[in-house]
Structure 1
Amino acid sequence: MTTTDSFDPTAFDPFDADYLADPYPLMNAAREFAPAFFNERLGHWIVTRHADIKQILRNPARFSATNANSPLREPCPHAAKALVDGGYGAVPTLANVDPPAHTRVRRLAATAFTNRRIASMEPVIRQLVQDFIRDHGPQGRADLVADLAWSLPAQVLFRVLGLGDENLETVKTGSWNRILFVYGLPDDDTQVDAARGLAEFWTFIEALVHERAESPRDDYISALLAAETKDDGRLTEAEVATVSLNLLFAGHETTTGLLGNGLRRLLEHENAWDRLIEDPSRITNAIEEILRFDSSVIAWRRQTTMDTQIGGVAVPKDARLVLMLGAANRDPEVFENPDDFDIDRPNAREHLSFGHGPHLCLGAPLARLQGRIALEELTAALPELSLDQTCHYEFAPNISFRGPLSLPATWPPTTDHERDVG
């Protein structure tokens, strides 16, 4: 356990094996040590406290989002060449552009990503979870990540974007390459391979968007291409492709983490799972507590546009910041007993896992919907679900996204009759 007295800001390493396994002791110590401090290895300032991070996220004039999707490690020459040769052409759109340009893209993206479109996904999500229960129920065991959380969010977004499930491996591979390239610290060879994979992912999305431009369908990409307002005009194909790539990546990767983290924490705290079974109305708030306690997005980035102060610490212009959302979500100034997992926590929704301010996550309602439906179906059909005690948790080596790569679980095998009910 790291304490404030033993905390060494120069040794702070979010790629250390102990940190990847459990970042919260070090996050807590960092938050108690200082509201902000510089880390030589990352070349970034680490920001740790809820109030400061919330203020940063709602002030793009002082804290720019332009570096949000920049590679944490500068691409080596061969990786940079691989992107160019591969035709990678993503442009600044939502996560990595500031108002007013961000406002224009956000407005058009939201026009197409309607509440009706999100609500129409409920029966799709429910059927996909029921399919998992039907297929795996009689076996009495499954990997809740590999067999459910890995594919469910991508399949849901495929329905939104108009893709077929045969694209699952392409999208998952592309997303993995993006995690390594943008949010990791890969060596040169790994970075080059990831750059090639990221370029292939972009080419796949670019071709899909061009196809929809030529032959529109009833899907989000077609709606995004057609979206137009008097003040904003229309998005270019490159902008639509970038928005689609970001939605496909962030929308499914973070929800996979939400489901994996959530099921892990609920099953580790047996009383929590039982309370959801007894009273399913608790599920909505349980989702918020999962997002707070063990977010699938534990860090995000910003850059200062002027000399400023963060929590009384002087930070220079053009400083790159890592906003430790995981530390903010356990800030005792906001959350009572923050290291306790409490599905009835009254202010759980004050977490910053979906961001805050103008860049608040556009896909948050869809992520919450998937989490709620998954828990409704699983608690009803598999009330005796429990974690395999031999499970060893592993996590992707990156600074921002967190979720177990595997989550083996068991339950008393269901019968055909039980599977047919509901």
Structure 2
Amino acid sequence: MVPSATGTHDTTAQPNPDISKCPYHSGSASKDFDPFEMDYQLNPGEACAWARENEPIFYSEKLGYWVVTRFEDVQEVFRDQSTYSASVALEKLTPATPEAQAILEAKGYGMRRTLVNEDEPAHTARRRALAGPFDVAHLKGEEAMVRELVTDYIDRFADKGRADLVNNLLWEVPLTVAFHFLGVPEHDMDMLRRYSVAHTVNTWGRPSPEQQKDIAENVGNFWNLAGDILAELRETPEAPGWMPYSIRAQKEQPEVVTDSYLHSIMMAGIVAAHETTAHSASNAIKLLLENRSVWDELVRKPELIPNAIEECLRLSGGVAAWRRITTKPTVLGGQRLDEGERLLIVSAAANRDPRHFSDPDTIDLYRDNSTDHLTFGFGSHQCLGKNLARLELQVILQELTSRFPSMRLVDQEFEFVPNTSFRGPEHLWVQWDADTGKEDTTGTTPELPDIVFNGPSKELRTRTMFVKEVRQLTAHIVGISLVPDGGTLPSWQPGAHVEIDAGDVSRRYSLCGSSSEAWEIAVALEPDGRGGSRWIHENVAEGATVRIRGPRQNFVVDVDVDRRILIAGGIGITPILALADDAKSRGIDYTIHYCGPTREKLAYLDRLRTDHGEHLVLHVSDEGTRLHLPGIVEEFREGTQVCTCGPDRLTAAVLDVFSSWPEGTVTRESFQSTSSVDVSLNEPFEVTINSTAKVLTVPKEQTLLEVLETSGFDVDADCREGLCGTCVLGVTGETPDDIDHRDDVLSVREKQSGAVIMPCVSRSCAGKPLTLDL
């Protein structure tokens, strides 16, 4: 299908990244985009940077697909299965030649549906029927097997000083783990590698007519091998492994787990259980060795390996893109799409979207939202084996960093199997110093950290920082400058905040400094608060250490506007100051309205006068210059955004007075919940855990978060008031009317999507059941 003749696209100007790094910067990604070129194979996220910022959804003439590159749009496609069908996920990108098709037919090739290319309601029913062995409790028992395999393979080359990690470790270990997990007898490694490559190129590649014949032979043989293995396993259905488990599930639910389905997942399972993990491991090691300081940090602090893995999956995962097809006319990211349009959703590009990830091209071992990456997919189509992959990747990196601290890349040309979706180097040559590599037999080797599932915990995402300086800004406000305990700090967007452990509580403070070497916050003493600000005023002094998470970006700021009206009250000046600094640096029009009872209580007043004097308007109560919002409302023009922070009375008034302005043009930051719901009006409701089909009841007097925690689910949560965004969870299959959103974090679009919920405060509407993406 060709693009709709009526298709329109929002062409609002976007910030341009360094186009020298992007092969698609001629001004028309639709003509230049070619995912089979080496730029895309080496780094699809970077290769799509220009397109993501300038043509985020474009039609590729070479592919015949719409290409989707922004995080919010890719996530929406994953979420909305009723509009974007997964049925084409395994469709041949390059149509088979008659000769290749004849070969496949002669071999009886009949792969149809697997978990990745089916829609609801069949998908969730089958996923639930087959999910048992992927439970974390079961996977914990696999660590010893994985570690024994990894150490055995490493021992074979440890004394050589040089190795191709793909051939010597990273291909065969995940494949052997896959055999074990599936319950399949081991088979010829080289043959299965050839079959897997053929399957990848057959599905996502652009083989020549001559290549197609050889590929068809291998794919057909792979299909028949899968059938033979399945027949063999049927003889011992009580044996361990996912495939015997699936055979038993067929007996219980024959209408869900059919014969043809078992054959398809037998073949797909061998590929899915090992190829993506092998690619992700080789991509991760390559990326870490290219960022030497990060590798060295992992050698010193192996407990940060789970953090590094999420960053590597985000920046250089083994899966770069998936495909979907529209089931009806729709609008995605401002682009109108007809029914039957094919989409290539490039998660590798979305994973570097600066709208969602601060400093997106940098490895930040303490990134607060690293697990938001889309390499494992999203929603009900999130990878069922994600935690098995995490287990393998952690063991591999633990062993390599502990035994080969001096490991480094050999100068080499990297080669990839050209395709749109599965990516990893065919070879990864490394070398190391001769005195490393052998296991320490003295008994002094430190114990390796526990394996972490479902991403790094809150504790692992907490960085220690030193207090460089404390300044008294006003009688009740201190400014605090913070520097890292080693390493560098990630950059942050204006409006971002950090969370600080302040005694027994955690508190959020906006970043307001302009230095790249230190972070600055300002803390107002609140005598009637819950003790966080008091603890900071009493305990934080020059030279002290503090524990910090972030930066996070809950302040919904449009970086593309050409005019800002900034309204601050009291300590609310902190994010507003950062927004003003940014506006000045970009040369856009801006005005700062700063409100307070007296000049003596206005923090940063001298700096504001020095840096923003002609843009600053003071509204001081004891001088009779109070803020008059109706007069500012009349200043509306296209390209303007109002940003406000301060006491709830002020920010609520801004939202009310500016309610006539278009959606998205008025935004506020709030550190105090505005939700005031009568708990007695709550209704109980049920939630289903998507991965296990477990059903929980949420009583009227408890929050969803509390029920999840008491049921054994480790949900990261901080403020518990719907303010910080930490505990956000995905929901599947719901409509916006099913969720009663009571938070102050989610955007209007996120609430309208029905895809996420803040379980600390939000509930279902009228007792409707919900399904959580856990």
Q: Aligning the two structures, in what range does the TM-score lie when normalised by the shorter sequence?
A: over 0.9
- The answer to whether residue 53 in structure 2 is matched with residue 21 in structure 1 is no
Choose which of 318, 342, 345 in structure 2 pairs with 1:323. Answer: 345
Q: 1:81 aligned to 2:99?
A: no
1:184-203 Cα deviation digits (max 9, x unpaired): 01111111211121111011
Cα separation, partners in 2 of 1:170 and 1:416, compared to 1, 3 Å: closer
1:239 aligns with 2:261: yes
Query: How is 1:94-113 mapped onto 2 (pairs within 5 angstroms)?
Result: 94-113=115-134
- Three-state SS of the structure 2 residue aligned to 1:95 is helix
Match of residue 71 from structure 1: 92
Query: Could you say which residue in structure 2 is the equivalent of 1:265?
Result: 287
1:413 corresponds, among 412, 434, 445, to 434
Q: Aligned equivalents of 1:205 and 1:163: distance in 2? A: 10
Is residue 212 from structure 1 mapped to residue 233 from structure 2 by the alignment? yes
Choose between structure 1 and 2: higher helix proportion: 1
The 1:329–1:114 alpha-carbon spacing in structure 2 relative to 1, beyond 3 Å, is: same
Partner of 1:136: 157
Alignment of 1:19-168 (within 5 A): 19-168=40-189
8 A Cα contact 2:130 2:245, kept in partner: no
Q: AA paired with 1:236?
A: T
Q: Which moved more, 1:100-109 or 1:365-374?
A: 100-109
Q: What CA distance in whole angstroms lies between the structure 2 residues aligned with 1:11 and 1:242?
A: 36
The Cα shift of 1:230 comes to: 6.7
SS in 2 for 1:37: strand
User: Does the CA-based 8 Å contact 2:46-2:349 persist in structure 1?
Assistant: no
Work out whether residues 57 and 335 of structure 2, in 8 Å CA contact, stay in contact via their aligned partners in 1.
Answer: yes
Q: Which is strand-richer, 1 or 2?
A: 2
**Residue in structure 1 matched with residue 223 of structure 2 by the alignment:** 202
Q: Distance in 2 between matches of 1:257 and 1:47?
A: 23
- Tell me which residue corresponds to 1:308: 330
Corresponding residue for 2:26? 6
| Pair 1:5–1:68, CA change in 2 (3 A) | closer
Could you tell me which residue of structure 2 aligns to residue 386 of structure 1?
A: 408
Match for 1:225: what amino acid? Answer: I
Structure 2 residue 385 is matched with structure 1 residue 374: no
Kindly provide the amino acid, as one letter, of the partner of residue 175 in structure 1.
S
C-alpha contact 1:104 1:232 (8 A) present in aligned 2:
no
Q: Secondary structure at the match of 2:364?
A: coil
Q: Partner amino acid for 1:106?
A: R
Q: Among 304, 310, 323, which residue is 1:282 paired with? A: 304
Q: Matches of 2:27 and 2:186 in 1, distance apart?
A: 47
The one-letter amino acid paired with 1:195 is A
- Contact map agreement 1:225 1:237 (CA 8 A) in 2: no
* Counterpart secondary structure, 1:321: strand
The alpha-carbon deviation at position 111 of structure 1 amounts to 2.9
Q: Which moved more, 1:35-44 or 1:318-327?
A: 35-44
Change (3 A) 1:96 1:325: same
2:226, 2:266 within 8 Å by CA — same for their partners in 1?
yes
Q: 3-state SS of the aligned residue for 2:152?
A: helix
| Residue 201 (structure 2) pairs with residue 180 (structure 1) | yes
Q: Which residue among 352, 355, 371 is the counterpart of 2:374? A: 352
Name the amino acid aligned to 1:81: A
In the alignment, what sits opposite 1:255?
277
Which protein has greater RCO, CA pairs closer than 8 Å, 6+ apart?
1
Structure 1 segments (4+ residues) deviating >6 Å? 229-232
The aligned length equals 421
Deviation of 1:112 after TM superposition, in Å, equals 4.4
Superposed CA offset, 1:110-151 (max 9, x none): 134443442222111111111122211111111111111111
Matched, 1:399 2:395: no
TM-score by length of 2: 0.53
Deviation at 1:56, TM superposition (A): 0.8
Report if the CA contact (8 A) 1:112-1:224 is conserved: no
C-alpha spacing 1:115/1:19, structure 2 compared with 1 (3 Å):
closer
Q: Which runs of 5+ in 1 are unaligned?
A: none
TM-score using structure 1 length: 0.95
Contact 1:36–1:46 under 8 Å retained in 2: yes
TM-aligned CA distance change 1:168 to 1:419, over 3 Å: farther
Which digits, 9 at most, give the CA deviation of each residue in 1:299-322, with x for residues without a partner? 110000001111011111100000
Change (3 A) 1:415 1:113: closer
1-structure distance, mates of 2:427, 2:23:
30
Task: Tell me what 2:558 maps to.
Answer: none
Q: Secondary structure at the match of 1:107?
A: helix
Contact 1:292 1:353 (8 Å CA) reproduced: yes
CA distance in 2: counterparts of 1:113 and 1:243, whole angstroms: 15
Alignment partners' CA distance in 2, 1:164 and 1:212: 9
Give the secondary-structure state (helix, strand or coil) at the position aligned to 1:138: coil
- Structure 1 residues 135 and 320: CA distance shift in structure 2, 3 A: same
Q: Please report how far the alpha carbon of residue 5 of structure 1 lies from its aligned counterpart in structure 2 after TM superposition.
A: 5.7
Give 1:351's aligned amino acid.
H
329, 337, 340: which one pairs with 2:359?
Answer: 337
- Of the structure 1 ranges 216-225 and 152-161, higher mean CA displacement relative to structure 2 is found in 216-225
Deviations along 1:142-196, whole A, 9 cap, x unmatched? 1111111111110101111233444322321111101111000111111121112
Q: Give SS of 1:133's match.
A: helix
Rounded to whole Å, the distance in 2 between the matches of 1:62 and 1:225 is 32
Q: CA deviation at 1:248?
A: 1.2
Greater CA deviation, 154-163 or 326-335? 154-163
Which residues of structure 2 form unaligned runs of 5+? 1-19, 446-774
How far apart, in 1, do the equivalents of 2:439 and 2:132 lie?
Answer: 42
- Rounded to whole Å, the distance in 2 between the matches of 1:124 and 1:380 is 19
Cα distance, 1:218 vs. partner? 2.2
Match of 1:170 among 178, 186, 191: 191
Shift of 1:30: 1.0
C-alpha separation between the residues in 1 aligned to 2:295 and 2:36? 31
**How has the CA–CA distance of structure 1 residues 162 and 3 changed in structure 2, closer, same or farther, with 3 Å as cutoff?**
closer
One-letter amino acid matched to 2:314:
R
Could you say if the C-alpha distance between residues 180 and 293 of structure 1 is closer, same or farther in structure 2, counting changes exceeding 3 Å? same
Question: Cα–Cα, structure 1 residues 201 and 287, in superposed 2: closer, same or farther, change >3 Å?
Answer: same
Displacement of 1:346: 1.9
Q: What are the superposed Cα offsets for residues 296-344 of structure 1, whole Å, 9 maximum, x if unpaired? A: 1111100000011110111111000000111100000011111122222
Alignment deviations for residues 233-262 of structure 1 (CA, whole Å, 9 cap, x no partner): 552232122112222102211111111011
Distance between the aligned counterparts of 1:47 and 1:415, measured in 2? 45
Counterpart amino acid of residue 298 in structure 2: L
Structure 2 equivalent of residue 296 of structure 1: 318
SS in 1 for 2:131: helix
Whole-Å separation in 2 of the counterparts to 1:257 and 1:3: 23
Instruction: State the alpha-carbon separation in 1 of the partners of residues 414 and 387 from structure 2.
Output: 28
Larger radius of gyration: 2
The one-letter code sitting in structure 2 at the alignment partner of 1:382 is F
Any idea what SS the aligned residue of 1:139 has? coil
How many angstroms does 1:206 deviate by? 0.8
Q: Conserved in 2, the CA contact under 8 Å of 1:108 and 1:232?
A: no
- Relative distance call for 1:164 and 1:316 in structure 2 (3 A) is same
